[in-house]
Amino acid sequence: MENLAKLRPLFLFVSGLMGLSGVALAAAASHGGDTQFLGNASTMCLAHAPVLLALYLGHATFRTATLSALALGLGTILFAGDLVSRHYLGDRLFPFAAPAGGSLMMLGWLLVAAGAFLGRRA
């Protein structure tokens, strides 16, 4: 877990980029008329950006914060990236990118829930 703690600044950076991407994707969906791919990618980014920020801030007392942020961040990038790729490139990012991203996001939320049973950091 010590090595994962070195990734914490990256989570703050990704949170900001994810929020920016969510707003940009919402605008693109709104002006381009594609709410299926771009709208869903926007929703995932905007839903998970504040969570990454909260996990970054809660690291000191929340045992699973770093691992949760890693899973949620990577999962959201894969899931949203696949949807954006389908819209702009007409094909997937790579086979099973969206399901892998969705699975990582679910794992991240499970890790958040597990944090309730692991107690607080000293």
Convert the chain into a string of H (helix), E (strand) and C (coil).
Answer: CHHHHCCHHHHHHHHHHHHHHHHHHHHHHHHHCCHHHHHHHHHHHHHHHHHHHHHHHCCCCECCHHHHHHHHHHHHHHHHHHHHHHHHCCCCCCCCHHHHHHHHHHHHHHHHHHCCCCCECC
Structural domains of the chain, ranges and CATH numbers in brackets = 1-116 (1.20.120)
| pLDDT per residue as tens digits for the range 83-106 | 999 999 999 999 999 999 999 999
74 against 3, higher pLDDT: 74
The structure's pTM equals 0.90
**With 60 as the cut, is the pLDDT of residue 116 above it?**
yes
Compute the average pLDDT of residues 34-42.
89
**With 70 as the cut, is the pLDDT of residue 1 above it?**
no
